[in-house]
Chains A and B, each alone.
Chain A
Amino acid sequence: MRRIVTATVQNRSGVLNRVTGLLAKRQFNIESISVGRTEAEGISKMTFVVDVEDERKLEQLTKQLNKQIDVLKVSDITDKAIVASELALIRVVSNAQIRNEIQGIIEPFRASIIDISKDSLTVQVTGKHEKIEALIDLLRPYGIKELARTGLTAFLRGQQPQVAEMKNYSILK
């Protein structure tokens, strides 16, 4: 099962190492991690996308994370209403002639061109995993020279729907 798990942590030295080391040691399969500061001083948030076998493994994952002294809160937000985003930078082979063509492709994705050189341009796109995958697929025929992606980062929407509706809002199901 693919799950999105977030951890709020105290921003002390060693905390990232402790958390990632723990996941490796207990053989959890991590697809991506993103880490960054939050609105609160000294508090960071980690977002993990993990692939776990079953509920029991998932429970172990959250419990083991929770056990760490500097971890304040762990949530599996997969089935909640969330906003979630990744970012990708894609450098594509191009010249003046096909620049417009590419512009046309990326527009529906609300991506933007953030750098242009003689023989290439760089596209920046944010959003859901699937959306980014789709754009990459469309750009591939032009020749991708370089690709860099961040992990997913996410949090709950301001308003949570009734329990019965929740599933519809899940981005991974």
Chain B
Amino acid sequence: MKVEAKPHYETQTKPKSGADLLVDALIQEEVKTIFGYPGGAVLPIYDALYRSGDAFHHVLARHEQGSIHAAEGYARVTGKPGVVIATSGPGATNLITGIADAMMDSLPVVVFTGQVARGVIGTDAFQEADVMGITTPITKHNYQVQSLSDLPRIVKEAFHIASTGRPGPVVVDIPKDISTEVDDNPPSVEFSLPGYQPNLKPNPLQIKKLTDAMAQAKKPVLLAGAGIHHGKASEELKAFAEQHSLPVVHTLHGLGTFPGSHSLSFGMAGMHGTYAANMALYECDLLINIGSRFDDRLTGKLEHFAPKATVAHIDVDPAEIGKNVPTQIPIVSDSKAALEALLKNAAAAPSTEEWYKKLDNYREEYPLWYNKPETDMVPQWLMEKVHSYTGGDAIVTTDVGQHQMWAAQYYKLEKPNRWVTSGGLGTMGFGFPAAIGAQLAAPDEKVVAVVGDGGFQMTLQELSLLQEMKLPVKVIIVNNQALGMVRQWQESFYEKRYSESILSTQPDFVKLAESYNVRGMRIESQQDLEEKLPEALSNDEPVVVDCRVLQQENVYPMIAPGKGIHEMIGVKP
């Protein structure tokens, strides 16, 4: 909420408190938006924010988990660090899921947590939590500020570490007495991080190895991962794929790095990927992985993953190379620099015509499929409609579950940085707050949050923000009145024992939205949808659409757990 009478912020020359130094440092980092929640240990910081006038746009999510997922959405869309502030103890622990999520999905997020005063750390003081201990395994790096003179340098390092190399979350824990302490001499912000020198340029010898392998390959395939987003290398990827007519398959997070409608795109690979994409990985003789970490949801059983292929892996994080899949051609590099080098060193184009024909045939023979009933809605059809009513050009965020997979399958993306989903941690409750962050990052874009009726209920309190900040987020609840993905596994692998997966009691989502002063609507049939949804999606108002879909739909095709990538089930009706 805006308070009119705030003084305009001036960079003071008077002695500054730690909180003032933090504000200065955030201005230095060109932070515009802060996702946060106040509390005792950050009162001095919130006071400094207040005194900073309109230097920042502060977003008061209604739960710290909402703050950090919004910051993740913001980071995913802009590529810049999302900034989060929370108080000590419960404020900090409420962030944990989001920090772990950002770590798994390599999102640049800088988190400031309040801490009890230095003198009482370790005494189980009121609202004390061991934030360093708790966040060490789920951060790229973390700091506890021990002395005021370190603060500006630490903030600078935190932003640098979060946003360079392989991005990730950095936590800065600030004891309250540091925030209030005053320093007369402006401390230095010089930093050196001798242990952190990400290698961004590829080794020419390794590039040569890869171009040589390409010249030999009869069945090459490009696997496009999130590293293409991070490296802003979509154009180079397209040029490279076209230069050699290389078939492209995607990871979940790689969606949008290459135009989904391109003739060389064979769609998403992995557990719920397309048959063609998975067979491309199974049969290829050269696999060029750019910026994917060979997650198990992608590879299926490792011994059947790309068994005949020479594997080349381009990754800015050397620790990912060879971690899961033995790799013959390791290339430690930023995706853009590697692709540029490959474009320049183009070897004789391999002959891929037959290979392409084979994959094209798989694509024709085994397309994604579903049965469309007469009047009722199925989620796959719903996703196709959302795609067509938004011209395939929305920023799509999703929660976790069946709807996430259907969105990935049926909302074909053409452009990068428009796909915001929780892949690594698979965090229910992510999708809706992430959409708020995405909308703040891209105010003029259409943002659609595709959520399940289960996951939406984990973070729906952020509906407050839609009215408060006039954010035209379109929330599509794919309402199957179940924890659909769990129900599907129970149906397939637990003989239909639906243990705690049917949500027979639900709120009235329309009234719920209305109680937050957001328009709510219910759509119960195909006809209903065709009549109401185009208008609801096209205007500049937020809306919550409760879409009633058939409960029994399952996500297909599928690689069952423990199976190989070539053993998909449900590939045909």
Contact between B196 and A13, CB atoms less than 8 A apart: no
Which residue of chain B lies nearest to A71 when distances are taken between CB atoms in the complex?
Answer: B195
Interface residues of A in 25-59 (CB under 8 A from B): 25, 56, 59
Q: What are 9 residue pairs bridging A and B, where the CB atoms are less than 8 Å apart in the complex? A: A13-B146, A14-B142, A14-B143, A14-B144, A17-B133, A25-B137, A63-B319, A64-B319, A69-B140
Interface residues of B in 291-333 (CB under 8 A from A): 317-319, 322-323, 326
Determine whether A124 belongs to the interface, using a CB cutoff of 8 Å to chain B: no
Contact between A67 and B323, CB atoms less than 8 A apart: no
Determine whether B573 belongs to the interface, using a CB cutoff of 8 Å to chain A: no
Determine whether B243 belongs to the interface, using a CB cutoff of 8 Å to chain A: no
Contact between B141 and A69, CB atoms less than 8 A apart: yes
Measured between beta carbons, the chain B residues less than 8 angstroms from A63 are 318-319
Report the minimal beta-carbon distance from B342 to chain A, rounded to whole angstroms.
24
By the criterion of a CB under 8 Å from any partner CB, how many residues of chain B are at the interface? Answer: 21
Contact between A13 and B322, CB atoms less than 8 A apart: no
Which residue of chain B lies nearest to A56 when distances are taken between CB atoms in the complex?
Answer: B322
Contact between B319 and A14, CB atoms less than 8 A apart: no
Contact between A59 and B195, CB atoms less than 8 A apart: no
By a beta-carbon cutoff of 8 Å, the part of chain A in contact with chain B is 9-10, 13-14, 17-18, 21-22, 25, 56, 59-60, 63-64, 66-72
Contact between A70 and B195, CB atoms less than 8 A apart: yes
Contact between B161 and A69, CB atoms less than 8 A apart: yes
Contact between A60 and B195, CB atoms less than 8 A apart: no
Measured between beta carbons, the chain A residues less than 8 angstroms from B193 are 69
Which residue of chain B lies nearest to A22 when distances are taken between CB atoms in the complex?
Answer: B137
Determine whether B194 belongs to the interface, using a CB cutoff of 8 Å to chain A: yes
A-B pairs, 7 with minimum CB distance:
A63-B319, A69-B141, A72-B195, A69-B196, A67-B319, A18-B136, A71-B195
Count contacts between A and B, CB distance < 8 Å.
Answer: 45
Contact between A14 and B136, CB atoms less than 8 A apart: yes
Interface residues of B in 130-180 (CB under 8 A from A): 132-133, 136-137, 140-144, 146, 161
By a beta-carbon cutoff of 8 Å, the part of chain B in contact with chain A is 132-133, 136-137, 140-144, 146, 161, 193-196, 317-319, 322-323, 326
Q: A56-B322, A59-B322, A60-B323 are in contact. Are A17 and B195 (CB under 8 A)?
A: no
Which residue of chain A lies nearest to B142 when distances are taken between CB atoms in the complex?
Answer: A14
Measured between beta carbons, the chain B residues less than 8 angstroms from A21 are 136-137
Contact between B132 and A14, CB atoms less than 8 A apart: yes
New A-B pairs, 17, CB < 8 Å, besides A59-B322, A60-B319, A66-B318? A13-B144, A14-B136, A14-B143, A17-B132, A17-B133, A17-B136, A21-B136, A56-B322, A60-B323, A63-B318, A63-B319, A66-B319, A67-B319, A70-B195, A71-B195, A72-B194, A72-B195
Report the minimal beta-carbon distance from A171 to chain B, rounded to whole angstroms.
28
Contact between B136 and A68, CB atoms less than 8 A apart: no
Measured between beta carbons, the chain B residues less than 8 angstroms from A67 are 317-319
Q: How distant is the Cα of A14 from the Cα of B146 in the complex, in angstroms?
A: 12
Report the minimal beta-carbon distance from A158 to chain B, rounded to whole angstroms.
24
Report the minimal beta-carbon distance from A106 to chain B, rounded to whole angstroms.
42
Q: How distant is the Cα of A144 from the Cα of B409 in the complex, in angstroms?
A: 68
Q: How distant is the Cα of A14 from the Cα of B144 in the complex, in angstroms?
A: 9
Measured between beta carbons, the chain A residues less than 8 angstroms from B140 are 69
Report the minimal beta-carbon distance from B93 to chain A, rounded to whole angstroms.
18
Measured between beta carbons, the chain A residues less than 8 angstroms from B317 are 67
Measured between beta carbons, the chain B residues less than 8 angstroms from A10 are 194-195
User: Which residue, B133, B136, B140, has most C-beta atoms of chain A within 10 A?
Assistant: B136
Q: How distant is the Cα of A72 from the Cα of B141 in the complex, in angstroms?
A: 14
Which residue of chain B lies nearest to A68 when distances are taken between CB atoms in the complex?
Answer: B195
Measured between beta carbons, the chain A residues less than 8 angstroms from B194 are 10, 72
Measured between beta carbons, the chain B residues less than 8 angstroms from A70 are 195
Q: How distant is the Cα of A69 from the Cα of B158 in the complex, in angstroms?
A: 11
Which residue of chain A lies nearest to B161 when distances are taken between CB atoms in the complex?
Answer: A69
Q: How distant is the Cα of A131 from the Cα of B196 in the complex, in angstroms?
A: 39
Which residue of chain A lies nearest to B318 when distances are taken between CB atoms in the complex?
Answer: A63
Q: How distant is the Cα of A14 from the Cα of B326 in the complex, in angstroms?
A: 33
Q: How distant is the Cα of A56 from the Cα of B193 in the complex, in angstroms?
A: 28
Report the minimal beta-carbon distance from A19 to chain B, rounded to whole angstroms.
10
Which residue of chain B lies nearest to A7 when distances are taken between CB atoms in the complex?
Answer: B195
Which residue of chain B lies nearest to A61 when distances are taken between CB atoms in the complex?
Answer: B319
Report the minimal beta-carbon distance from B165 to chain A, rounded to whole angstroms.
9
Q: How distant is the Cα of A126 from the Cα of B143 in the complex, in angstroms?
A: 37
Which residue of chain B lies nearest to A43 when distances are taken between CB atoms in the complex?
Answer: B194
Report the minimal beta-carbon distance from B503 to chain A, rounded to whole angstroms.
34
Q: How distant is the Cα of A60 from the Cα of B322 in the complex, in angstroms?
A: 8
Q: How distant is the Cα of A18 from the Cα of B161 in the complex, in angstroms?
A: 16
Q: How distant is the Cα of A59 from the Cα of B318 in the complex, in angstroms?
A: 10
Q: How distant is the Cα of A67 from the Cα of B255 in the complex, in angstroms?
A: 27
Measured between beta carbons, the chain A residues less than 8 angstroms from B143 are 14
Which residue of chain B lies nearest to A67 when distances are taken between CB atoms in the complex?
Answer: B319
Q: How distant is the Cα of A59 from the Cα of B142 in the complex, in angstroms?
A: 25
Which residue of chain A lies nearest to B317 when distances are taken between CB atoms in the complex?
Answer: A67
Contact between B132 and A69, CB atoms less than 8 A apart: no
Report the minimal beta-carbon distance from A20 to chain B, rounded to whole angstroms.
10
Measured between beta carbons, the chain B residues less than 8 angstroms from A25 are 137
Q: How distant is the Cα of A9 from the Cα of B193 in the complex, in angstroms?
A: 11
Report the minimal beta-carbon distance from B525 to chain A, rounded to whole angstroms.
50
Which residue of chain B lies nearest to A18 when distances are taken between CB atoms in the complex?
Answer: B136
Q: CB < 8 Å: which of A14, A56, A69 contacts B195?
A: A69
Q: How distant is the Cα of A3 from the Cα of B140 in the complex, in angstroms?
A: 26
Which residue of chain B lies nearest to A64 when distances are taken between CB atoms in the complex?
Answer: B319
Contact between A56 and B137, CB atoms less than 8 A apart: no
Q: How distant is the Cα of A8 from the Cα of B96 in the complex, in angstroms?
A: 30
Measured between beta carbons, the chain B residues less than 8 angstroms from A69 are 140-141, 161, 193, 195-196
Which residue of chain B lies nearest to A63 when distances are taken between CB atoms in the complex?
Answer: B319
